[in-house]
Amino acid sequence: MLVLPLIALVLHGALAGLFYAFSMSVMPALNAVEPAQAETVMRSVNRKILNPWLFVAFLGAPVAALVAGLFAGGPAAVWFFAAAGVSFVGSFVVTMAINVPMNNAVDAGTMPWKEYSPRWTAWNTVRAAASLASLALVGVGLAQL
């Protein structure tokens, strides 16, 4: 059954692309404007990004990899389970424990941009790397089918 692994692959790719784009273009662009403007834009981004498309990729990627592993069996299952684990820890846990609280702080005006941006970007890059690793793990799992 290739449908679930392919869904996992696409969702991990979408998530990796999102995180990568933020670290390599969005945050540098925001750093190039006045901090007050950057904070205003980031507040808007943080509100608008909470939509069904984000949740499909953000929640769906590790779940799809996990379910693909349950149905795959054999060596492929190990790769899919590894992808689910890396995605869960490197994307979901990091987001909920680090990036979201920082987003809330910038939204509340309790964290200045000069403190927020480098730390947020570093942890976002961790999320990008974890998502890219998960994408590769799903790809190896697919090759094992």
- Domain span at residue 54 reads 3-144
Instruction: Give residue-wise pLDDT tens across range 73-119.
Output: 899 999 999 999 999 999 999 999 999 999 999 999 999 999 999 99
pLDDT at 73: 87
Q: What is the DSSP string of the chain?
A: --HHHHHHHHHHHHHHHHHHHIIIIIHHHHHTS-HHHHHHHHHHHHHHT-SHHHHHHHHHHHHHHHHHHHHH-HHHHHHHHHHHHHHIIIIIIHIIIIIHHHHHHHHHT-S-HHHHHHHHHHHHHHHHHHHHHHHHHHHHHHHH-
pLDDT tens per residue across span 29-63: 999 999 999 999 999 999 999 999 999 999 999 99
Q: Please give the model's pTM, rounded to 2 decimal places.
A: 0.95
What's the number of domains the chain is made of? 1
